[in-house]
Amino acid sequence: MLREMLIRFRDGDITLEEAMKEIEGLRIETIGEFARIDLGRMMRCGMPEVVLAEGKEPGHIKQIVAGIVAARRICIVSRLSTPEDGEIRRFAEEKGFQVRYNERARMMVISTGARTPLTGGVVAVITAGTSDIGVAEEARVIAEEMGCRVCTAYDVGAAGIHRLFPALRDCLDAHAFVVAAGREGTLPAVVAGLVDRPVIGVPVSTGYGYMGKGRAALASMLQSCSVLTVVNIDAGFTAGASAALIANMVVDGR
């Protein structure tokens, strides 16, 4: 492109001013390209943009959703409250968008077309108790939207550890594990001690009293001797996206 422009300039097809303007444009484009790297990255890994609904008005959410779907063909809305979900869904369907709503995750996937094709990546999502399922589903939705197959094993801690082993056996082909747990939050370290795959712990804001609301879980995950990485309390999305990123890399082999 630069080559052509220079030739057209040498050949007198464009003036000196026009050439300079085009080159200046390149510079600006350079900064822009530089700054837009993060968007590029997101697209390259197939990670859709996520809009946090919490603390935004429905009107505002609709406007953002419309913009993102137009530009990127897909948009995820997270932490939707019950009265709002119907309103956003109606808006999206009227626009002719596809809508998939996961109630337990409180996440809505809005897109112009069909589901992301499977990449071959496999992510396991495991929870200690039933209260951890909402956060786990957040991880599942994003991992599926990034093309991974997700195998889940919920409530393996609460009903006794004897449920953990069959669950792990069913997930043996997973490339990465997301393990959500509240209260004392020890399940991620237990899983990390049993599988030879990366494990990402998600502390869940359950538990009362001293260091409740997920803080004890965060603390014990960070203090664990296991090879385990951690995300913020209730940050199912970040854990799911990290796991899917790893799974897709393994499948790609690079």
96-135: which residues touch a second copy (CB under 8 A)? Answer: 130-131
**Site size for a second copy, by CB under 8 A?**
92
CB of 105 to a second copy, least distance (A): 15
User: Does residue 87 belong to the site contacting a second copy (CB under 8 A)?
Assistant: no
- Output the CA torsion sign for 176, 180, 185, 191: negative
| Residue 241 vs residues 105, 130, 165, 187, 232: alpha-carbon distances, Å | 14, 22, 25, 20, 13
Output 52 or 93, the one with its CB closest to a second copy: 52
75 touching a second copy, by CB under 8 A? no
Q: How far is the CB of 60 from a second copy (least distance, A)?
A: 7
Supply the minimum distance, in Å, between the C-beta of residue 254 and a second copy.
7
Distance CA 218, CA 202 (A): 8
Are 217 and 183 a contacting pair, CB within 8 Å? Answer: yes
Stretch that binds a second copy, among 82-90, 93-101, 110-118, 154-162 (CB under 8 A): 154-162
Nearest distance in Å: CB 78, a second copy: 12
Is residue 41 part of the contact set for a second copy (CB under 8 A)? yes
For the CB of residue 106, give the shortest distance to a second copy in the complex, in Å: 13
Measured on CA atoms in the order 117, 123, 127, 131, is the torsion positive or negative?
negative
Per-residue x/- mask for a second copy, residues 210 to 239, rule CB under 8 A? xxx-xxxxxxxxxxxx-xxxxxxxxx--xx
Site track 163-202 with a second copy (rule: CB under 8 A), x = hit:
-xx---------x-------xxxx--x---xxxxxx-x--
> Does residue number 66 form part of the binding site for a second copy (CB under 8 A)?
no
Tokens, residue 62: 């609709």
Q: Which stretch binds a second copy (CB under 8 A): 5-13, 85-93, 95-103, 108-116?
A: 5-13
62 belongs to the binding site for a second copy (CB under 8 A): no
Q: Does 141 bind a second copy (CB under 8 A)?
A: no
DSSP secondary structure string for all residues of 214-239 = THHHHHHHHH-SSS-EE--TT-HHHH
Instruction: Give me 104's structure tokens.
Output: 């337990």
Among 13, 25, 26, 118, which residue interacts with a second copy (rule: CB under 8 A)?
26
Contacts 24+ apart (CB under 8 A), 197-201: 198/229, 198/243, 198/246, 199/226, 199/227, 199/228, 199/229, 200/176, 200/228, 200/229, 200/230, 200/231, 200/239, 200/242, 200/243, 201/228, 201/229, 201/230, 201/231, 201/239
